Chain A
Amino acid sequence: MGTRLKEDGSSKKQLLITSILFMGLGHLVYLKQSIKGAIFAAIEIIMLCMLPTIIVKINGLITLGSPHPELPVKLREHSIFMLIDGVMILAVVILFFALYYISIRSALSDYKDFCIEKKLKGNRASMSGLLGKAFPVFGLAPTVGLIVFFVIVPLVFAACAAFTNYSAPKHIPPNNTVDWVGFDNFAAMFGGDATWTTALGRVALWTLVWAILATFTCYFGGMIMAVVLLDNKLKIAPLFRGIFILPYAVPSVVSMLVWQNLLNGSFGTVNRTLMQFGIIDKAIPWLSDPWLAKFTVVMINLWAGFPYFMLLITGTMTAISADLFEAAKIDGAGRFQLFRKITLPLVLYQTMPLIIMSFTHNINNFGAIFFLTGGDPKVADSTITSAGGTDILVTWIYNLTINLSKYNYASVLAIMIFVILAPFAIFQFRRTKSYKEGEL
């Protein structure tokens, strides 16, 4: 059995076995691509050297460390580091096997070329292949690296934390260790613990109500403004449009903090103005009454959010062909009919994806709640759960993480958000052009 390949394709099995045996071996022995093969082989050698570490880290991921109260705090096993390291090592191992797979495929495809061209490519030609066949690997390397270590690993960690008891006061490393607890947190949140279950029900319901109200008020607010400004042939319409666009142009942190100060119950300008004019006798608790605060956040969000839809709908409305209106007018349609039968359906149809996007954005609209009310006012269960009257799921996650250090419950909420939003993401995916055309 020499190291020469047969040109009729019968050496495929031989090459496949060598390539599986050791990464890059097929390139080195049969394809005479020493550089490429050496790189692949080096990767496997590095992985083999790391094997002890990998085993230790994976073991750490399974046990999450054992408590050593006798050791000084610095020397105790840090469960969270062990958990994150374990997840990262898992990611590295998966990436390694992906690369292994790529190396085998590259060997086989080079062999296929050899069978056709009857000569080996050698080093130079195969390296120019780096910019050829292997280009996707290099083009996607930064994307994959960043996404794996800064998006997927953190999310997997968060998902894992939902199955641990990582929470204050008893299980915060490095003083104490964290342990796997299975579905205990889910059990507590969904029925096991009355306080938490009520809070979860309340917050989840408000998150949905908020997202629906916020989207609809902004959409129809924007639509009314777009229609009024377009319909009346006003000479000064651009001026009004310029004013209405301002809330959208101001960064939302700034505008929400401003509103928070203006609406402050005791010294806020809005209340002082209303009192000075004698419209009200005592201060209105804009942000401190649970129900009124909910109303206020929706209204302020309308203030900040209608310009986007106004612009959008203006854009779509001006794109509707004038012929349609002419034809309808000849048939005797009135202005209201024109709007209801032509403008509204067309605009709705064309902006539907953006309505859905806006809905999913509002489910996660941290800024609108956090900077305006901070989730306040406090309600009955707030001292235990840290969820206030206007808190939505994401702001509650923030409170649980920052104020209460209940990382386990925060992670359960993150998984809930995923369950709510994943269908929307899949829906969006299915209606992309490339999916419909069967490319994907």
Chain B
Amino acid sequence: MRIIRKVNLTVVILFLTIFSLGVIYPLVYVVSAAFSPGNSIASLNIIPFADGFTTQHFTHLFTNTKYLTWFKNTLIIATSTSALTILVASLGAYVFSRFNFAVKKSMMMAMLILQIFPSFVGMIAIYVILLRIGGLDQLWGLVLVYLAGNIPYNTWMVKSYIDTISKSLDESARIDGANHLTIFWKIILPIAKPIIIFLGISSFTAPWMDFIFPKMVLRSADKQTLALGLFSFVTDKKNDFTTFAAGALLVAIPFIIFFIISQKTMVTSFGGAAVKE
């Protein structure tokens, strides 16, 4: 800090500018590659946007590849995973938070330990189980895998949040004759909205770029997801970097816009999460 005090503001700004150029360089290069003629990264000029401008890669994506199908599949998977995760995890969290039963402690402990495994450790077994229930090469098979993988950690997360909601609310509703399901649906869920939204977003975004499970579960050309499709552009066999860049750009832009908008909320919620601990 002493050094920073000594150097003047312009040096700080210079440092920040150089640093941000380094940070942003690969991203700018992808944007430029998406609009540059040619295919391989080897043929691209080292200076971004120096090769001219073309939208042919986007046309190529929509006419010659199954980009739209990939997008549709991924959207279906992400939406269903998100909705089901919210439903199952929050219901489980409500039970864990509000009821006392014999095996509660061991179940919660088990879930905490289970969430440390990357789910592809059990890949072979999941493959065989899906094979047995006809879930291979089906979008719903993949949704089931994601859903099960999401539950242990997220149930914990929502449970901690519901723990902070006062139990007197439940009590008064019960006196008014509400059953557990009504209390959960009408009282707990609306109050737990912030964490539910967070859960919805995080389980919605994860499937977009997951690679291993789609690769294992989805086989036919009509069932591919975006990550698989994009990866196929830049394998060892071919280097179609510009098409990859165009496709990646179309996925990344909504993500980036969303992140920039929610930057402020995220700073507060991250900070809040840390302080609460």
Contact = CB atoms under 8 A, between A and B. Distances in A.
Q: Do A and B bind each other?
A: yes
Interface of A: 80-81, 84, 87-88, 98, 101, 105, 128, 131-132, 135-136, 139-140, 142-143, 146-147, 149-155, 157-158, 161, 227-229, 231-232, 234, 236, 240-255, 257-262, 264, 266-269, 272-273, 276, 303, 311-312, 314-316, 318-319, 334-336, 339-340, 350-351, 353-354, 360, 364, 366-367, 370-371, 394, 397-398, 401, 407, 414, 417-418, 421-422, 424-426, 428-429, 431-434, 440
Interface of B: 1-2, 4-5, 9, 12-13, 15-16, 20, 23-24, 26-27, 29-30, 40-42, 44, 46, 88-89, 91-92, 94-95, 99, 101-105, 107-109, 111-126, 128-129, 144-145, 147-149, 151-152, 155, 160, 163, 179-181, 184, 205, 208-209, 211-212, 227, 230-231, 234, 239, 241, 244-245, 248, 251-252, 255-256, 258-260, 263, 266-272, 274-275, 277
Contacts of B99: 135-136
A150 B27 contact: no
Contact of A158 (B23, B121, B155): B121
Given A132-B179, A243-B23, A276-B46, A139 B91 contact: yes
B212 A150 contact: no
B104 A440 contact: yes
Contact of A264 (B23, B41, B125, B274): B41
Nearest to A266: B42
A158 B122 contact: yes
Contact of A272 (B46, B114, B117): B46
B184 to A, nearest CB: 8
A115 B231 CA distance: 67
Given A250-B252, A261-B234, A426-B112, 12 more contacts: A143-B155, A146-B144, A157-B122, A234-B16, A242-B260, A264-B41, A267-B42, A316-B275, A318-B267, A335-B2, A429-B112, A440-B104
Nearest to B88: A142
B251 A254 contact: yes
B23 A407 contact: no
B7 to A, nearest CB: 10
Contacts of A232: 4, 9, 12
State the majority secondary structure of interface residues on A.
Answer: helix
Given A150-B149, A425-B116, A142 B91 contact: yes
29 contacts: A105-B102, A131-B181, A135-B99, A142-B92, A143-B88, A147-B111, A147-B114, A150-B145, A150-B148, A151-B119, A151-B148, A231-B4, A240-B16, A249-B252, A249-B259, A250-B252, A250-B256, A253-B211, A254-B251, A257-B234, A261-B234, A267-B41, A276-B46, A311-B266, A312-B271, A315-B274, A350-B274, A364-B118, A433-B163
Contacts of B102: 101, 105
A152 B104 CA distance: 17
A253 B231 contact: yes
A439 to B, nearest CB: 8
A352 B267 CA distance: 17
Contacts of B267: 311, 314-315, 318
B147 A261 contact: no
B229 to A, nearest CB: 11
Contact of A316 (B91, B212, B271): B271
Q: Which 10 pairs across A and B sit closest by C-beta, in order of nearness? A: A154-B122, A315-B271, A267-B42, A150-B148, A249-B259, A154-B125, A157-B125, A251-B209, A139-B95, A143-B92
Contacts of A228: 4, 12, 15-16
Contacts of A252: 209
B265 to A, nearest CB: 10
Contacts of A262: 26, 29, 41
A227 B111 CA distance: 37
A422 B116 contact: yes
B116 A250 contact: no
A421 B268 CA distance: 29
Contacts of B271: 312, 314-316, 318-319
B263 A245 contact: yes
B260 A360 contact: no
A371 B228 CA distance: 12
B255 A251 contact: yes
Contacts of A267: 40-42
Contacts of B42: 266-267
A258 B26 contact: yes
B4 A254 contact: no
